[in-house]
Amino acid sequence: MIFASDNTGPTHPNVLQAVVEANAGHTTPYGADHLMEQVTQRLRDVFEAPQAAIYLVSTGTAANAITLACQTQPYQTVFCSDVAHIHEDECGAPEFFTGGAKLTLIPNDDGKMTPAGLRTAIEGEENRGVHGLQRGPVSITQATEKGTVYTLDEIRAITDIAREYALPTQMDGARFANALVTLGCTPAEMTWRAGIDAVSFGGTKNGLMGVEAVILLDSEKAWEFELRRKRAGHLISKHRYMSAQMGAYLKDDLWLDMARAANTACNSLTRGLKQNPDVTLHFEPRANIIFAAWPRAIHRKLHDAGAYYYILDGGLDGPGDAPLTARLVCDWSADEAKVSAFLAKMTA
């Protein structure tokens, strides 16, 4: 009954086996291994982008921050939602890697940036001459930190505005696969065909040990990314172990299978919660994350039974009838038995 984070989930056995197999013999370091050649071609095929530049890093923070650094000057600002992962959960990494560029936060609606909010924010900059910030890239989190998902039309509406002002776009796709499964579209449709220039293609939250891919759909920034990755300490010498993970992830569409499993478990958990009159959902879950509130007494019962998840607005001590918000996240290993056990403990 562990629903704290998809980061708590195990690494898929196929991925572990691929790492073991990659450990045989010797090979070229720093991403020049033959496995990385295969990964590069596979990701270009998956994204239908034969000219895309493909790189691997070990964390989502590095993937986002180094990519944004390639798109942003220190005197510019990055436009993002006020609940974007790059704002709430990366300890100022985008500001650090860009050399001091600011984040301009746009009020969210259901966890998502709105076109109207983006336009207002863009118009609010670059109008004070040398004294003010200059406009920089637009970044969206897909799926959002609230468990919602931008539709293809919503992505296009945002990128259309960015293009209107000649601004590059970046997609934080730590849960890229979960969003893709929800929309039932292709990676190309959710990215470059919708106007996205660069993508952080998440793996760690979806069954990998610790690998994220950066896909520069506009490869003009490829050499700059390589230099920034090295300077930031994220060019891994024994790169083949990252290549092996990503290769196993992509083989036979394992990445989509794991995302479907997580989303399916989340859908099942959502249905059960909706049937409980003590539960209030804050957002309609569209991927693998749920935000919901129920009385503290039920939280205590669940924790006593061994459930593990985050409570966002209070501790277990206090009045039993006070509603507290939980964040529940399903990873690829969540199944019907775990979901059923959790729901049963709520009403026991």
pLDDT beyond 90 at 187: yes
pTM above 0.75, yes or no: yes
* pLDDT over 90 (residue 41): yes
- pLDDT for the residue numbered 348: 79
Q: Domain 11-252: give its CATH architecture.
A: 3-Layer(aba) Sandwich (3.40)
Tell me: pLDDT of 29 over 90: yes
At 84, the pLDDT band (50, 70, 90 cuts) reads: very high
pLDDT for res 314? 86
Tell me the mean pLDDT in the region 4-14. Answer: 96
**Is residue 267 very low, low, confident or very high in pLDDT (cuts 50, 70, 90)?**
very high
- CA 63 – CA 213 distance, rounded (Å): 7
Render pLDDT for 196-207 as a digit per residue (tens, 0 to 9).
Answer: 999 999 999 999
Q: Are strands 323-329 and 310-311 parallel, antiparallel or unpaired?
A: antiparallel
| Portion of the chain with pLDDT greater than 70, in percent | 100
Q: What is the mean pLDDT of residues 31-57?
A: 97
CA pair distance 260, 126, nearest whole angstrom: 43
Q: List, for residues 209-259, the tens digit of each pLDDT value.
A: 999 999 999 899 999 999 999 999 999 999 999 999 999 999 999 999 999
Mean pLDDT across 116-142? 97
Query: How far apart, in whole angstroms, are the C-alpha atoms of residue 75 and residue 82?
Result: 20
Give the separation between CA 10 and CA 168, rounded to whole angstroms.
35
The residues, ordered by sequence, that sit 6+ positions from 302 with a Cβ below 8 Å of its Cβ are 1, 309, 342, 345, 346
Strands 112-113 and 134-141: unpaired
State both tokens at 201: 């293609």
Average pLDDT, the chain: 97
What one-character-per-residue DSSP string does 246-261 give? HHHHHGGGHHHHHHHH
H helices within the chain, ranges in order?
A: 13-22, 34-46, 60-71, 85-88, 93-97, 115-123, 152-164, 176-183, 187-190, 222-231, 240-250, 254-274, 296-304, 336-347
> What's the N-to-C CA distance of the chain in angstroms?
15
Residues 6+ apart with CB under 8 A from 320: 295, 296, 297, 300
Best CA proximity match to 165, nearest among 145, 195, 144, 187: 195
Domain 255-347 has CATH 3.90.1150.10: yes
The answer, yes or no, to whether residue 34 has pLDDT greater than 90, is yes
Q: Is the pLDDT of residue 104 over 90?
A: yes
pLDDT-above-90 percentage for the chain = 98
CATH 3.40.640.10 in the chain, residue ranges: 11-252
Report pLDDT digits (tens) over 319-333.
999 999 999 999 999
Residue ranges, CATH 3.90.1150.10, the chain? 255-347
